[in-house]
């Protein structure tokens, strides 16, 4: 009987660790998708010679690079966006603009999970995108 209880405890521990790891993995994967979308937006602005916008729809819980299908962020996660006021097109939609020279309006997107967050920064001068994983 004691052996059965020990096995149940081990199984419960392994399941909890696996589920927590999956949530972290989803947050990291989404942050990498956001970063890729931002980089794609920068490349598109430079290639077309026209400003391009990366959009985050906070109501629909989606983000998208121009010409791409919107992607949803994980359930249970929240998104916080800091961007230039002049790039707000409509309520609930935040945008980061890239210029033809590769620079941007700058900003950041923070994905917040249950126990940690991941921040995607956009440098205004160079348009460079960096991903910073932080534990809370």
Looking at domain 2-135, its CATH architecture is 3-Layer(bab) Sandwich (3.55)
pLDDT digits (tens, 9 = 90+) for 45-89: 999 999 999 999 999 999 999 999 999 999 999 999 999 888 777
Q: What is the CA radius of gyration of the chain?
A: 19
pLDDT digits (tens, 9 = 90+) for 104-132: 999 999 999 988 999 999 999 999 999 99
Domains in the chain: boundaries: 2-135
The pTM of the full predicted model, rounded to 2 decimals, is 0.81
């Amino acid at each position: 009987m004691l052996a059965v209880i020990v096995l149940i405890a081990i199984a419960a521990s392994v399941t909890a660790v696996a589920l927590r790891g999956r949530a972290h993995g989803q947050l990291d994967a989404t942050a990498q998708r956001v970063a890729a979308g931002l980089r794609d937006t920068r490349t598109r602005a430079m290639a077309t010679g026209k400003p391009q916008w990366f959009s985050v729809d906070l109501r629909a819980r989606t983000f998208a690079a121009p010409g791409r299908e919107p992607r949803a962020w994980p359930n249970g996660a929240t998104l916080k966006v800091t961007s230039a006021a002049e790039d707000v097109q409509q309520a609930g939609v935040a945008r980061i603009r890239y210029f033809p020279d590769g620079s941007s309006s700058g900003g950041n997107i923070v994905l917040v999970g249950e126990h940690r967050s991941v921040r995607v920064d956009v440098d205004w001068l160079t348009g460079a995108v960096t991903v910073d994983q932080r534990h809370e």
